[in-house]
Homo-oligomer: A and B are copies of this chain.
Amino acid sequence: AGTAADGPERIVVIPGDGIGKEVVPAAREVLEAVGPDFEFEEADAGDAVKAETGEALPEETRDLAANADATLFGAAGETAADVIIPLRRAVDSFANVRPVRAYPGTDALQPGTDLVFVRENTEGVYAGHESEIAPGVTTLTRVVTESASEEIARYGFEYAAERGSRVTIAHKANVMRTTDGLFLDTARRVGAEYDVDADEALMDALAMHLVQRPEEYDVVVCPNLAGDVLSDLAAGLVGGLGLLPSANVGDERALFEPVHGTAPDIAGQGVANPSAVMLSAAMLLEYLGYDDAGERVRSAVTATLESGPHTPDLGGDATTSDVTEAVLAKL
């Protein structure tokens, strides 16, 4: 990614549908407040644009994301898959990074949860080759390559090495012997280059262990669908998707999004919790090299979660803008 020396970074902001429209602007205020001289561009995606234009992800939005230094996305409704999968591809992201923590203010089933999923973001069942090969008989070609496995494993081990943490490699190589076998062998080989403790877990056994002892896990490197399911499972342990940020990381650009959806039940009321997208903005800052600014945002958000004000999802009666003001005041 570029640095400030190359001129201002271009940030594309895509609020999307539902509460995306309320929380993304709040996160943009926070980004503006911490200072880097970003150039913002706003773009559309989601159910509403589709209803108007027939396209959930307009060509123009895709192109903006494909050329920006970073994109901040809110949420999309029914069209989520049609928006997020092409956007992940547009930014050439290979890693989907999902920190799952029991943030202060969360009523967590497992308060010791503090781990990061590093999910392969390009292939597996998401490679998307499906067909009806005979009436009533359908197939999907799951793809696993050594190059993508190597890239995600390297990202996971680098990430763990920087933080002094452990890696767990998730797989189902006892059944998917060739494909997950390749994923596992490659991750083992990459792991051997790092001075990082690592172990391996079958994804089914891991699902059980994550529920029972999440505190034993640090960085979990996963194939695409395994990462999808296991990270949502872990979100359940910390009280839901409401506070969780994520990053779709590529070499040149990246896409940041809260893990939550459009929350149609509360959309339009101005009471959505902006924390998850603000924490995603903190990841964006760090991705672009503004580590201090990123840390300032994360600290201000966690301090506000701890002290309040709280939006209704956390049992309070504050509005999105009450929370945003509190975060801005703490920066």
Contact = CB atoms under 8 A, between A and B. Distances in A.
Contact of A147 (B136, B172, B212, B225): B136
A239 B176 CA distance: 28
Interface residues of A, number: 55
A311 to B, nearest CB: 19
A109 B142 contact: no
Interface string A175-187: 1111101100000
A131 B207 contact: no
A87 to B, nearest CB: 14
B140 A145 contact: no
B177 A130 contact: yes
A330 interface: no
A143 B139 contact: yes
A140 B179 contact: yes
A216 interface: no
A264 B208 CA distance: 18
A192 interface: no
A126 B175 CA distance: 7
Contacts of A59: none
A174 B126 CA distance: 10
Interface in A156-185: 172, 174-179, 181-182
A144 interface: yes
Contacts of A144: 138-140
Interface stretch (A228-236, A267-275, A286-294): A228-236
A284 B131 CA distance: 38
A146 B132 CA distance: 11
A34 interface: no
A145 B136 CA distance: 5
Given A140-B176, A145-B136, A174-B80, A241 B125 contact: no
Given A145-B136, A147-B136, A182-B136, A205 B176 contact: no
Interface of A: 80-81, 85, 109-110, 125-126, 128, 130-132, 135-147, 172, 174-179, 181-182, 203-205, 207-212, 225, 228-233, 235-237, 239-241
